Amino acid sequence: MRRIIRSLVPIVVGFLLIGGSAALSTHSIAVAQASEDNNLRAEIMNKALNKSQLKNVQVSVTNGIAHLTGTVDTFYWKQEADKRVHRTKGVKGVDNEIEVAGPEISDQQLQDKLVKAIAYDRVGYGTTPFNAISVNVQNGAVTLGGTAYGPVDADSAVAVAENMKGVKDVINNISVDPVSPMDDRIRRAVYRAVYGFPSMNKYAIDPAQPIRISVQNGNVTLYGVVINQGDKDAAGIRANTVPGVFKVTNDLQVASQAERQ
């Protein structure tokens, strides 16, 4: 019996040593990870979040995942904080729980402000008549839809929404018209045909409220609001006279009907 006990002692001691080493190794890994997380947090605070607009943002880091909290004035800076932290070397992921503070504005007020701001956004660049971007606001969350002449116009509309105080979120559902020399020719021709008609000149007075012309592979859609049914019909007829147009969809609204809706 004594011989058996003596022979078991080294085995038991061995198991204890192995178990102790494993525990020590796990502890060392945890300490090293905590040190890395602290260094990463300092890097994020000193470089990624070193903007005055992000002064109220806090960050904690666990296993390389950055958790963002706090407040910003606009949705743009919530997005910007996320992007800047993602670009920080060593960050494995970002949990963005930043809240957009800003003023409390009713959905209707916010929608009206955004519609006007986006309508005037690209005035002077020659693309305003070719953008038909819609705006819908629910509980401070903005959904942008419709069509844009190009990606620059679409991105610009998104930027307007992101920087508007009171906006809590932005969903970009804008469809960008395909790049096509034929479509560009049709756009210009439809524009001249519609706006060149004497009774339609009045719609060029306010560049933010023109008849909108969207062209996709030769298919033309007219958007916007006109004064009367005669102007709506005239715009559709004029667009149909342009060579190369496959189809014209006349979605123009008459002012009295639009107000009732």
Domain match, 139 and 212 both = no
pLDDT, tens digit, for every residue of 159-188?
A: 999 999 999 999 999 999 988 899 999 999
What are 88's two structure tokens?
A: 């920080």
Q: Using a pLDDT cut of 90, give the percent of the chain over it.
A: 64
Domain match, 224 and 170 both = no
> Other C-beta atoms within 10 Å of 42: how many?
12
Backbone phi, psi, residue 245, to 5° = -75, 125
CATH (domain of 244): 3.30.1340.30
Q: Which of 148, 176, 204 is the last residue of a domain?
A: 176
Domain match, 164 and 202 both = no
pLDDT, tens digit, for every residue of 217-240?
A: 999 999 999 999 999 999 999 999
DSSP class of residue 212? E
Residue 34's domain spans which residues? Answer: 2-100
Domain match, 87 and 25 both = yes
Q: Cα–Cα distance between 91 and 213 in angstroms, integer? A: 45
**248: nearest Cα among 195, 187, 200:** 187
Q: Cα–Cα distance between 2 and 97 in angstroms, integer? A: 65
Query: How many domains, in total, are found in the chain?
Result: 3
**DSSP secondary structure letters along 130-193:** G-EEEEEEETTEEEEEEEESSHHHHHHHHHHHHTSTT--EEEE-PEEPPP-HHHHHHHHHHHHH
Q: Cα–Cα distance between 23 and 27 in angstroms, integer? A: 6
Q: Which of 55, 82, 100 is the last residue of a domain?
A: 100
pLDDT, tens digit, for every residue of 33-89?
A: 678 888 889 988 898 899 999 999 999 998 989 999 999 999 999 999 999 999 999
What are 167's two structure tokens?
A: 């906006």
Longest dimension (CA), the chain: 117
DSSP class of residue 261? -
The whole-chain average pLDDT of the chain stands at 86
Q: Which of 100, 134, 159 is the last residue of a domain?
A: 100
Domain match, 185 and 172 both = no
> Where do the DSSP E strands lie in the chain?
57-62, 65-72, 93-96, 99-100, 132-138, 141-148, 169-172, 175-176, 212-216, 219-223, 225-226, 247-250, 253-254
Q: Cα–Cα distance between 250 and 112 in angstroms, integer? A: 24
Residue 235 or residue 19, greater confidence: 235
CATH (domain of 146): 3.30.1340
What pLDDT is recorded for position 12? 45
Domain match, 90 and 17 both = yes
